[in-house]
């Protein structure tokens, strides 16, 4: 046999990585073939780009760039005013600045909430599903309690108790959103662990931890990825709702706060101060929902053959 046909260890790693990457790319390609998903991805890329480039796009406010700058000489300016492309608020805040830095706030909010809740939910749900028995019973009882209260009301109650601040909104949302992941992953784990490959791994003598990490988790996780994508949008929507009713600090460069503070002017014809940020919230939630749905179609376990 030719020596060239025997790749070295490094070669094996590289090849395996290449195969996995190709598979990942093919999923990506399939997702993007759907025009609505593509639209969603485009919006997300634009918004995330805006968030990352915020300091380049606008002069950061000092000392705190996440506070709205105030131009006392330009209150309630309509869109198109020089230096204030999308107009200003009743406090002289530049709406465009609020939108650009607000995208940072939104991205931060959704990333923190989703990653924390996915982590908690996956840990709780997989412990319950994988270990079963008593552990399962106790954990799921707790989950049921959380589930029995409507999301928004629960988040509202927590935020209200903790007091108005953006950090507390993050906490409130995290307290609400982890439950869903726990439920999803538990159901998946219970289903996946019945597969013969799990028993085959047991017969080989592999450890429970290895079986969980190699066999159960990777085959249980896709619905979580879909839900997480959807929640990247939902978190911002509910977060905005909480800010809107005044649970965030006033003056924060955040879309919900802007909508809330701008709504007073709508009846006076000053539509821009709340419409533009409101549109952003809408677009953000829409985009992630489009991508989430697209992912679900491609990753649906019933149609998935990867």
Partner 1 sequence: MKTVPARAARPIPVKNRNLVTVRNLRRYFPIREGALQRVVGHVRAVDGVSFDVRRGETVGVVGESGCGKTTLGRCINGLLPPTDGGVYFDLGDDEHARLDALTAMPSEARTREQAAELERLDRTHRVDRLRGEAWRSYRRNCQVVFQDAFSSLNPRQLVKDIVGRPLKVYREASGSELMERVVGLLESVGLGRQHLYRYPHQFSGGQRQRISIARALALDPDFIVLDEPTSALDVSVQAQILNLLNDLQRERGLTYLFISHDLGVVRHMSDRIVVMYVGEIVEAGTRDDVFNSPLHPYTEALLEASPELAHDTDRRAGALEGRVPDPARPPQGCRFHTRCPVVTPSCGFEVDDAVRMLEGRGAGLDHLRGVQRRSAFEADLSFDDEEFAGLMVRVLEGPETPAEMREAMIGLTRSGSTVAIRFRDIDRVRLEEIRPAHVTSCILHTGQGLDPGDRHMREKNGG
Q: Which of 4, 9, 161, 209 binds partner 1 (CB under 8 A)?
A: 9
Total length of the chain? 306
The distance of closest approach from Cβ of residue 203 to partner 1 in the complex, given in angstroms and rounded to an integer, is: 5
For residues 242-278, one letter each, b for 16 or more C-beta atoms within 10 angstroms of the residue's C-beta and e for the rest, the string is bbbeebbeebbbbbbbbbbbbbebeeeebbbbbbbbb
Residues 257-296 that bind partner 1 (CB under 8 A): none
> Does residue 122 interact with partner 1 by CB under 8 A?
no
The set of residues, in sequence order, having a beta carbon less than 8 Å from that of 124 and lying 6+ positions away, is: 139, 143, 178, 182
Q: Which stretch binds partner 1 (CB under 8 A): 15-23, 71-79, 114-122, 239-247?
A: 15-23
CB atoms within 10 A of CB 212: 21
The set of residues, in sequence order, having a beta carbon less than 8 Å from that of 296 and lying 6+ positions away, is: 223, 226
Q: What's the CA gap between 274 and 88, in Å, rounded?
A: 10
Task: Spell out the long-range contacts of 203-208 with Cβ–Cβ below 8 A and sequence spacing 24 or more.
Answer: 208/130
The distance of closest approach from Cβ of residue 204 to partner 1 in the complex, given in angstroms and rounded to an integer, is: 5
Q: Which of 64, 144, 199, 300 binds partner 1 (CB under 8 A)?
A: 199
The distance of closest approach from Cβ of residue 19 to partner 1 in the complex, given in angstroms and rounded to an integer, is: 5
Q: Which of 42, 76, 219, 263 binds partner 1 (CB under 8 A)?
A: 219
Q: Nearer to partner 1 by C-beta: 15 or 33?
A: 15
> Does residue 16 interact with partner 1 by CB under 8 A?
yes
The distance of closest approach from Cβ of residue 126 to partner 1 in the complex, given in angstroms and rounded to an integer, is: 16
> Does residue 306 interact with partner 1 by CB under 8 A?
yes
Contacts with partner 1 by CB under 8 A: the residue count is: 27
143 closest CA partner among 186, 113, 112, 193: 186
> Does residue 202 interact with partner 1 by CB under 8 A?
yes
Residues 46-75 that bind partner 1 (CB under 8 A): none
CB atoms within 10 A of CB 175: 19
> Does residue 195 interact with partner 1 by CB under 8 A?
yes
Q: Nearer to partner 1 by C-beta: 206 or 297?
A: 206
The distance of closest approach from Cβ of residue 178 to partner 1 in the complex, given in angstroms and rounded to an integer, is: 25
Q: What is the end-to-end Cα distance of the chain in Å, rounded?
A: 32
Q: Which stretch binds partner 1 (CB under 8 A): 13-21, 88-96, 117-125, 160-168?
A: 13-21
Whether residue 221 contacts residue 275, with contact meaning beta carbons closer than 8 Å, is answered with no
> Does residue 6 interact with partner 1 by CB under 8 A?
yes
Q: Taking the mean position of all CA atoms in its chain, how far away is CA 188?
A: 21
- Give the footprint of partner 1 on this chain (CB under 8 A): 5-6, 8-9, 12, 15-16, 19, 23, 195-197, 199-206, 210, 214-215, 218-219, 305-306
């Amino acid at each position: 046999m030719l020596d060239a046909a025997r790749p070295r260890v490094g070669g094996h790693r590289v090849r395996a990585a290449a195969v996995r990457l190709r598979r990942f790319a093919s999923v990506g390609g399939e997702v993007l073939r759907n025009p609505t998903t593509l639209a969603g991805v485009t919006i997300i890329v634009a918004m995330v780009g805006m968030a990352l480039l915020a300091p380049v796009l606008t002069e950061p406010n000092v000392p705190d760039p996440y506070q709205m700058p105030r131009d006392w000489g330009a209150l309630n300016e309509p869109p198109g005013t020089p230096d204030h492309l999308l107009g200003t608020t009743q406090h002289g805040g530049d709406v465009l600045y609020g939108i650009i830095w607000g995208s940072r706030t939104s991205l931060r909010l959704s990333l923190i909430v989703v990653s924390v809740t996915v982590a908690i939910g996956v840990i709780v749900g997989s412990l319950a599903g994988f270990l079963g028995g008593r552990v399962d019973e106790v954990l799921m009882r707790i989950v049921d309690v959380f589930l029995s209260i409507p999301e928004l009301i629960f988040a509202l109650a927590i935020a209200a108790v903790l007091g108005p601040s953006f950090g507390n909104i993050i906490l409130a949302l995290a307290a609400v959103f982890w439950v869903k992941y726990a439920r999803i992953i538990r159901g998946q784990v219970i289903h996946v662990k019945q597969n013969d490959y799990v028993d085959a791994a047991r017969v080989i003598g592999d450890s429970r931890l290895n079986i969980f990490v190699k066999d159960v988790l990777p085959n249980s996780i896709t619905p979580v990825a879909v839900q997480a994508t959807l929640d990247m949008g939902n978190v911002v929507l509910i977060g905005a709702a909480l800010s809107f009713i005044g649970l965030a600090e006033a003056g924060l460069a955040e879309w919900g706060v802007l909508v809330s503070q701008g709504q007073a002017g709508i009846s006076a014809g000053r539509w821009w101060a709340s419409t533009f940020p409101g549109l952003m919230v809408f677009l953000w939630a829409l985009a992630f929902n489009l991508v989430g749905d697209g992912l679900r179609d491609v990753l649906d376990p019933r149609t998935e053959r990867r």
